[in-house]
Chains A and B, each alone.
Chain A
Amino acid sequence: MAVDKLILILLVLPLLGALVNGTLGKKLSNALVGGIATGVMIVSFCCAVLVFNQTNDTKIIHLFNLLKLNDLHINASLQVDALSIWMTLIVTGVGTLIHIFSIGYMSHDKGFYKFFTYLNLFIFSMLLLILGSNYFVLFFGWEGVGICSYLLIGFHYSDAEKGMANSIAARKAFIMNRIGDAGLLIGLFLILGQFNTLEFTGIAEKLSLDPTLANGAIIGITLCLFIAATGKSAQIPLFTWLPDAMAGPTPVSALIHAATMVTAGIYLVVRSNFLFELAPLTKDIILGIGFATSMIAAFIAMRQNDIKKVLAYSTVSQLGLMFVALGMGAYTVAIFHVTTHAFFKALLFLGSGSVIHAMSDEQDIRLMGGLAKKLPITHLTFLIGTLAIAGFPLLSGFYSKDEILGHALAHSPILYGTLMISVALTAAYMFRLYFLVFHGKFRGGEQLESHVHESKAIMTFPLVVLAILSIFGGLLNLPGIFLKNGTHWLQNFLVAHTAGLEKIHAEHASNATILALMAVASTMTIAILLWAYYTYVKKNKLALADKELKGWQLFSNAKLYIDEVYNFLIVKPIEYLSKIAYSFVEIKVLNQGVFGFANLFGKAGSIIRYWQTGLLSNYLFWMVIGLIGLISYYIIKLQFWNF
């Protein structure tokens, strides 16, 4: 079947699913609603696979024209090339698994149909974002995922005890995203001003003809685009929304805040590689911020006690790592890490969802422990996910992290050294989490212990699939030491069929360097695994209660007080300004000004009222005066004119 028809089906089906579920879902049974939503996803995934098989060159599917102004054309059109189809595969594939998981996880929820409506709507927006062929369609999808994220985070807004907190978290996410969106808009305007087109291919073409075309503005454009990416992908300074977004249901965290939406920022930068390549300063900034974010987030995750918050900070840290890769110009490596991260992070989140489900919605890891025997499948898959993210040899995370570390070493050894610290911290907090949850004695009390049960098959099936992907995902982009052929498949695929990427030379380090790196990384990971095992299982060192934290642990648990700092620096001044605006502008100027002005007429009227005495003679008197005035006016007028 033709590519454009497949892509249209792929894009429109989630929207249709959302519409059907949204309008009719209340009356349909849970099974039917879930079936429609997941069925739509499966069909989209199959279409994506079919298109994937046929991907040769960049294909642009023109839908309709939005704006035509002299020579500025803004179209609604889609672009199918390796990058977009690969991201589509990730989104639809992982999305399908999460839909299947949600059918089981949300089965007791009253808003079942709403959940799936929002999920499908989100998938539609994300696909729009990825498949757009110009910045305008991308922006459309960008905003769409922001809205769906808001709706889904605050899904339980009417919950008795946590409803308010959920809404506030959703609002926080939305507002921080908006700050990024402002950057995106400004970037779009700058691009329009410089290139007079928003099409990716168009801009790339103009730049290839004349690389110095946008010399003055390119730093501004790339910075604005990067600000948008920090907003969406939770980098410094706009990252505090992501941990708070864990207030949403777990499948939401898995889909949006692990696998898809947060990678939109990465996608934006990779898509705009032709712009970023011309702005080395911005790339350095990206590198710096990505690096700082990954370090800080990893440090905070060390002492978090909510299972989802640990995973959230882990996401932020991994995204920082991806941005480090982008900052070094290794775009395909970043996409590779996006892929493997989608696998194991979704797996970890879904696994945590299964654990939370078993723990009757308790999320504090200090009340868990010894769940390995009670939740076998969850335990096994979670272990695989943890090993993958920590970079255990031969699992997917190992390969993608190694690529990034390899590029870091080539860039600067200091960067490599400090990045290793971040990787080490990642391993440390993930193993801490794993051991505290699944090993040792159960600390939650009798009541909770009796309810602990393995999840249904519908929930464990996606876990198993994701675990398999986490194990074998590394095969996508193997380095060249093991096999002669079939290596770096993803890199070659992306470079061959994506406009712009072919110009970026990927350096392949020598075999010896690669082996050395692998050895160092593996040793470190296994060492940390043993240390964690020793500390948390053998020595039974439990997580401290909040009151007993001291020193660096206090800082780590308190999220480095960043939220408080933001509150003090930004939120409080704005609230103060708004108070002033209300008390001064609203009350004094507007109320008293506008209403006072209206009252003026009333008061004036009540004074002038006394002129109407009702006495006839007065009226006649004033008539005579008026007559005098009228005649004298005309006399004077004529005097001045007739001379």
Chain B
Amino acid sequence: MNSVDPTFATSIDFYVILASILFVIGAFGVLIRRNMIVLLMCIELMLNAVNLLLVAFSTYYGKGDAQIFVFFIIVVAAAEATIGLSILIMAYRNNKATDAGLFKNLNG
């Protein structure tokens, strides 16, 4: 493209901060939302923040390993979403509601 390589115009700080903010927003959502589905979605958001960071580093260091890692993160996220939703369906069947406050049986 131009003489200045576009892929390196932005410094990595930007992506670091961006990923951190996205991660924290996801964590905030996990803590505050009581609807199970939205909870799972916030987890996906956190995973994506991590993906973003990994891809940024992979670009800035010229190694492709991080992108393969992202690939596998997506794989695992898919599997996890499947199982998570199945459990959610079962819980809904038992409780007729999906409220995170209903999972009280994990106590000691």
Q: Which residues of A pack against B, CB within 8 Å?
A: 609, 611-617, 619-621, 624
Binary A-proximity of B73-107 (CB < 8 A = 1, otherwise 0): 00000000000000000000000000011011111
Q: How far is the CA of A615 from the CA of B39 in the complex (A)?
A: 14
In the complex, whether B30 has a CB less than 8 A from a CB of chain A is yes
Residues on B with C-beta less than 8 A from A609 are 108
- Is the Cβ of B103 less than 8 Å from the Cβ of A616? yes
Structural contact, B34 and A614, CB atoms closer than 8 A? no
A617 contacts B100, CB within 8 Å? Answer: yes
Within the complex, which residue of B30, B31, B34, B107 is in contact with A612, where a contact is CB–CB below 8 Å?
B107
A467 to chain B, nearest CB (A): 89
Looking at the assembled complex, report how far the CB atom of B86 sits from the nearest CB atom of chain A, in whole angstroms. Answer: 17
**B27 in the interface, Cβ–Cβ < 8 Å?**
yes
A sample of 19 inter-chain contacts (CB < 8 A) reads: A611-B108, A612-B106, A612-B108, A613-B107, A614-B104, A614-B106, A614-B107, A615-B100, A615-B104, A616-B100, A616-B103, A616-B106, A617-B34, A617-B100, A617-B101, A620-B31, A621-B31, A624-B27, A624-B31
A613 (CB) vs chain B CBs: closest residue = B107
For A624, what are the chain B residues with a Cβ–Cβ distance below 8 Å? Answer: 27, 30-31
Smallest CB-CB separation from A608: which chain B residue?
A: B108
Q: How far is the CB of A608 from chain B (nearest CB, A)?
A: 8
Question: Which residues of chain B come closer than 8 Å to A615, judged between CB atoms?
Answer: 100-101, 103-104
A612 to B31: give the CA distance in the assembly, Å. Answer: 17
**Closest CB of chain B to A526's CB: distance in Å?**
98
Could you tell me the distance between the alpha carbons of A619 and B105 in the complex, rounded to whole angstroms?
A: 12
Contact A614 B103 (CB under 8 A): yes
Contacts of A614 in B (CB 8 A): 103-107
Complex CA–CA separation, A615 to B34 (angstroms): 11
Most chain B CB atoms below 10 A, which of A612, A615, A616, A624: A616
**Number of residues from B at the complex interface, CB < 8 A:** 12
Pairs of residues from A and B, 4 with the lowest C-beta to C-beta distance, nearest first: A614-B107, A612-B108, A614-B104, A614-B106
Q: CA separation between A257 and B7, bound complex, in Å?
A: 111
Q: Name the residue on B nearest A605 (C-beta).
A: B108
Dominant secondary structure of chain A at its interface with chain B = helix
> Nearest CB to that of B103 among chain A residues?
A616
CA gap between A619 and B30 in the complex, in Å: 11
A147 to chain B, nearest CB (A): 58
Report the separation of the CA atoms of residues A616 and B27 in the bound assembly, to the nearest whole angstrom.
Answer: 14
**Contact in complex: B104, A613 (CB < 8 Å):** yes
In Å, the complex CA distance between A619 and B107 comes to 10
* Cα(A615)–Cα(B31), bound, Å: 11
Closest residue of chain A to B43 (Cβ to Cβ) is: A620
Q: In the assembled complex, which residues on chain B have CB atoms less than 8 Å from the CB atom of A612?
A: 106-108
Q: Which residues of A contact B103 (CB under 8 A)?
A: 614-616
Cα-based distance from A617 to B104 in the complex (angstroms): 10
A614 to chain B minimum Cβ distance, whole angstroms, is 3
* B36–chain A nearest beta-carbon distance, Å: 9
Q: How far is the CA of A609 from the CA of B103 in the complex (A)?
A: 17
Closest Cβ–Cβ distance, residue B25 to chain A (whole Å): 13
In the complex, how many angstroms separate the beta carbon of B50 from the nearest chain A beta carbon? 13
Shortest Cβ distance from A199 into chain B, in angstroms? 71
A613 to B103 Cα, complex, angstroms: 10
Nearest Cβ distance between residue A367 and chain B, in whole angstroms? 80
Closest approach, in angstroms, between the C-beta of B84 and any C-beta of chain A?
Answer: 13
Q: Complex formed: what's the CA distance from A611 to B107 in Å?
A: 8
Q: List chain A residues, Cβ under 8 A from B104.
A: 613-615
Complex Cα distance A616/B88, Å? 14
Q: In the complex, what's the smallest C-beta–C-beta distance from B28 to chain A, in angstroms?
A: 9
Q: Which residues of B contact A611 (CB under 8 A)?
A: 108
CA–CA, A620 and B108, complex, Å? 16
Do B106 and A617 have beta carbons less than 8 Å apart?
A: no
B14 to chain A minimum Cβ distance, whole angstroms, is 21
* Contact between chains at A617 and B31 (CB < 8 Å): yes
A611 to B106, CA, bound (A): 11
Chain A nearest CB: distance from B100 CB in Å?
5
Query: Which residue on chain B has the smallest CB distance to residue A624?
Result: B27
Q: B105 — which chain A residues lie within 8 A by C-beta?
A: 614
A613, A620, A624 pick with most chain B CB within 10 angstroms:
A620
How near does chain B come to A632, taking the closest CB pair, in angstroms? 14
Interfacial chain B residues near A617, Cβ < 8 Å: 31, 34, 100-101
Q: How far is the CA of A621 from the CA of B31 in the complex (A)?
A: 6
What residues on B are CB-neighbors of A621 within 8 Å? 31
A169 → B minimal CB distance (Å)? 62
Task: Give every chain A residue within 8 A of B31 (Cβ-Cβ).
Answer: 617, 620-621, 624
| B24: nearest chain-A partner, CB-CB | A624
Which chain B residue has the least Cβ–Cβ distance from A619? B106
Task: Give chain A residues whose Cβ lies under 8 Å from the Cβ of B100.
Answer: 615-617
Task: Tell me, in angstroms, the Cα distance from A613 to B27 when the chains sit together.
Answer: 20
Minimum Cβ distance to chain A for residue B87 (Å): 12
Distance of A617 Cα from B39 Cα, bound (Å) = 10
Add 7 more A-B contacts to A616-B101, A617-B101, A619-B106 (CB < 8 A): A612-B106, A613-B104, A614-B107, A615-B104, A616-B100, A617-B31, A620-B30
